[in-house]
Every structure is written in structure tokens, then in C-alpha cells.
Amino acid sequence: MVGHTPVFALDLGRSADKLKREQEQRSAALKRKQEAERRTKERARKVAAEAEERERLRRLALQEAEERQRIEAAAELERNNGVLYHATLAAVPRDEAAADIKGIVRRADKLTLPPSARATLMAQDAPKNGPMFFELSVPETGATGREGVEMDEDRASTTRRRATYSGLLDFTAIEGTVGLPAHTARNLFGEAFSSVEEVQVAGPLDVRYTKLPKGTYAKLQPLWSAFQRDVEDVKLALEAALHDYTVLSEGDTVLVKYMGSSHALQVLELRPSPAVSIIDTDLEVDLEVSVEAAAAQKKAEEERRAAEEAKRRAEEEARQQEEDEARRAAELEAAAAQHAATKAAALPPEPSQEERAEGLAIEILLRFPDGSRRSRTFRRTDAPGALFDFAEAGPMGGLAFGQAYKLITGYPPRSLAADAPTLQDAGLTGKQEALLVQSVE
């Protein structure tokens, strides 16, 4: 009988295999889930750690900033003899009519502050330090020009004006604002602030109380040559103009009025500090040549240097050309001498006395273009090429080295047949023959 496996046994085996596969799949799924949860927790832990580190650094930076501010405030208090005032205010044009009514002489650079500033300053007895002065600076919010136009970084760094100094007119400004006179506004923001009626707010500005020393020296520079050309009494004009101001700041421009004209002068240098009080002080003033004249002088100097450089280069080129020509001439002379020596060495010996007596010799005279002559004796049986060697064995008399030439003989003149076997075959049959060395050209 043939054996066989019962059907129920086969079904049981397949069920066991299926169960095993399902268990393996569930186990693998569980492992994947556990791994995903582990990665999620790890990411969460890392994110939390990074956030904690950022917060720690933020707190540290805040502490450092507060410490810097504390140190700066202490230094500022020391500089200002116990007075500290700092506010960020919106800049507006000063009420000029109100300033005129007050009749204050030195008011061209005096600002107005809000009443809250009065309370702060008086609480610290600011008048004990004498006239009050303030540093005005534009917060660093981007590279803009003095008219607020966007500019590239290089240009902005050389043209933008970031700070100036002013005296105090009164405390009549609206709260949150600072009233700027035209002079101060012009030096901070350009002409648009003080001359365009539509401009109402150009701020904000950082306003700081500062104690300034009395000025002892100032160097000024007119923008235009008209000042030094038209102003006859410069000392009187400067004294009258500076009498309108209380403070000078390096980099600012002041206006000097003379005979109905206004002249702008830049403040180049001040002593003993970059900003000084000019109230009740003996100020020594030096006047530089105008920006316009300085630019013209610079241009003239650049043109002079350019001309000198061009002359130097031309002289150098001429010298180099002379050296090159001299070198080429020397090389040509050496080549000509070598060539002449080679040709002289190739000449056949001159006929002996016996050959001369037998009439086998012929005396050849060569006439060169410059009138010079050279003669030598040859055998009649010498080849005509020997005469060409003889011509080139010495100075060519008016012909350049390597220049093509021919030998002319007889009458009517004819060119010597260089390919003839002998001189006699070439037609030279006399005892003496004269040939003309002639350029082919």
C-alpha cells in the first residue's frame, strides 16, 4: 500500500506557518514603532536643549547689555558731572516765530525739548554745569544719504551724517518730539528737512545731554571759492557768523552771511574735543582753501603728475628705442663684419708676378654708390662670382648690409653675367676693368 499524509495534517502545518509569519510581522511592526517613538523623543529632547541654550544665551546677552549700559551710564554721569538725560524723540522743525519773539542772539543751533525733559534735567540740577548741550544722533537703521535716499555701502559711509550737537532754547516742544533749528536739521538730514514744507517728521533721534568743553581752536573750510574771493574782512565775517552759534561739531557746516550772500563752511577740526562750546571763549580759527579750490588744485596736481608720468614714459620709450636701435645697429655691424670676413676668406689668391707678366691677370676697380673705390687683381680665369665676393669683403660704400646690388660694366652699361665661367667669358678682356656697384632698387 502507498503511504499518504492526511489532509487535516497539511492544514495544521499551513496554519502554524501563517501564525509564525504574523507573529514576526507584529514583532517587526512593534520594533519600528518603538524606534520611531525613540527618535521622536530624541528630537524633542534636542529641540528642548537647543531652546534652553538659546534662552541661556539670550539671558546672558541681556545681562551683558545691561552691564554695558550700567557702565556707560556711570561713565556718562561722571563726564557730565552727575547729569544723565537720554531720550528717543521724533524730530520736527523748531517754531522759528517763537524763537524770534524771544530775541535770543545765539539761537541758530538751539533746539527745543518737551517739558518732561525740563523736569528730568532740573531734578539733577543740570544748570550747575552752565549752558546745556545735547548730542543728537540718528539711530542706525540702514545706509541712507543725507536726503534719506538709499545708497550703496561705500557711498553711504562717506556721505551720511550721523550725529551733531546743539544748545538749548527752551522746553516748549510737544511731548515726544524735539524741535530742530534749520542749522541742526540741515547737518543731520540735509536741505530737505528745513526747506520742504511737507516734511513734518524726520526722526526718531537719540537725544543725550552732554557737557562740552570750551573750544580753543577751529579749522574751517569754505565749500566754494566765492567766500575767499568776495569776503574782504574774513575775521569780521567769521566773528559775526559764529556769534549766532553756541556749539561747533566736527563735520558740520555753518553759514556765514556777508553782503547779502550766504557762504557755507565745513568744520574740519576742533580742539580740545570733536564738539566744543563757543560761548565766552577765545577761539583761534584757521581757514583752509575752499573745497572748490582744493578740488581744482587736486585736479591740476593730478594733471601735472599725469603729464610728468606721460613725459617720463615717453622719455623711457625713446631711451628704450635708442637702445634697441643701437643694439640692432651693433648686431648688424657685427653681422656685416662677419660676412665681410667670410667673403674675404673666399677670395682666390691674387696672380703671381709671372702670371701678371704673361698677361693672365686683370686689375678690377669697383666704384661704389657713395663714390668710394676699391681695386684688386684677379686672374682672367677666375669666376665672376669672385668679384661679388670682393665687393662684399669690405665696406659697401652707400649700400646697406644685405641690400641687393649688381655690377655694371662696359659701354653701353650692362650687368655682369654672374653665371659666366670666367671673367674673360663675362666680357672682361682688358688689363684693367672698372665696374660700378649699383643697387638693384
Q: Based on the structure, what is the number of domains in the chain?
A: 4
Asked if residue 49 is part of any domain, the answer here is: no
Mean pLDDT along residues 43-56: 92
Would you state the cell numbers that stand for residue 353, as one nine-digit string? 708676378
* In a shared domain, residues 243 and 256: yes
Helix (H, G, I), strand (E, B) or coil at 405: strand
Query: 210, 236, 254: which is the final residue of a domain?
Result: 210
- Alpha-carbon span 165 to 154, nearest angstrom: 25
For residue 301, the enclosing domain spans 292-343
Torsion angle of the four alpha carbons 66, 72, 73, 76, in this order, in degrees rounded to the nearest 10: -170
* 102 has pLDDT over 90: no
- Alpha-carbon span 112 to 28, nearest angstrom: 80
Asked if residue 422 is part of any domain, the answer here is: yes
Mean pLDDT along residues 392-415: 90
Determine whether 144 is exposed, middle or buried from the number of CB atoms within 10 Å of its CB (0-12, 13-18, 19+). Answer: middle
DSSP annotation of 109 reads: T
pLDDT at 384: 94
- Alpha-carbon span 393 to 340, nearest angstrom: 4
- Alpha-carbon span 188 to 252, nearest angstrom: 9
Asked if residue 13 is part of any domain, the answer here is: no
* In a shared domain, residues 193 and 224: no
What is the per-residue pLDDT across 370-397, written as a single tens digit (0 to 9) for each? 999 999 999 999 999 999 999 999 999 9
* In a shared domain, residues 157 and 190: yes
Q: Residue 99: which CATH number? A: 2.40.40.50
* 249 has pLDDT over 80: yes
Q: What is the DSSP string of 315-357?
A: HHHHHHHHHHHHHHHHHHHHHHHHHHHHHHHHSPPPPPHHHHH
pLDDT at 424: 92
pLDDT-derived band of residue 9, with 50, 70 and 90 as boundaries? low
* % of the chain at pLDDT higher than 90: 66
Determine whether 355 is exposed, middle or buried from the number of CB atoms within 10 Å of its CB (0-12, 13-18, 19+). Answer: middle
Tell me the CA distances in angstroms from 347 to 113, 309, 351, 430, one per residue in order. 113, 56, 12, 21
Containing H/E element for 167? strand 163-170
pLDDT-derived band of residue 100, with 50, 70 and 90 as boundaries? confident
What is the per-residue pLDDT across 296-336, written as a single tens digit (0 to 9) for each? 999 999 999 999 999 999 999 999 999 999 999 999 999 99
Helices within 3-114 (DSSP H only):
7-79, 96-102
* 196 has pLDDT over 50: no
pLDDT averaged over every residue in the chain = 87
Lowest average pLDDT, out of 58-72, 169-183, 329-343, goes to 58-72
Helix axes 385-392, 291-346, angle to 10 degrees: 140
In the chain, the amino acid numbered 214 is K
* 134 has pLDDT over 80: yes
Asked if residue 9 is part of any domain, the answer here is: no
Asked if residue 65 is part of any domain, the answer here is: no
Chain position carrying cell 665676393:
389
Instruction: Give the highest mean pLDDT range of 93-107, 183-197, 331-345.
Output: 331-345
Query: 210, 236, 261: which is the final residue of a domain?
Result: 210
- Alpha-carbon span 366 to 386, nearest angstrom: 13
Asked if residue 20 is part of any domain, the answer here is: no
Mean pLDDT along residues 12-22: 78
Asked if residue 52 is part of any domain, the answer here is: no
* 147 has pLDDT over 70: no
* 50 has pLDDT over 60: yes
- pTM of structure: 0.58
pLDDT-derived band of residue 70, with 50, 70 and 90 as boundaries? confident
Q: Residue 377: which CATH number? A: 3.10.20.90
Mean pLDDT along residues 175-190: 90
Would you state the cell numbers that stand for residue 8, as one nine-digit string? 487535516
Query: 247, 272, 288: which is the final residue of a domain?
Result: 288
Containing H/E element for 355? helix 353-357
Closest residue by Cα to residue 247 from 168, 362, 166 = 166
What is the per-residue pLDDT across 425-440, written as a single tens digit (0 to 9) for each? 999 999 999 999 999 8
* In a shared domain, residues 327 and 351: no
Closest residue by Cα to residue 184 from 274, 241, 240, 249 = 249
CA angle 350, 354, 359 (to 5 degrees): 80
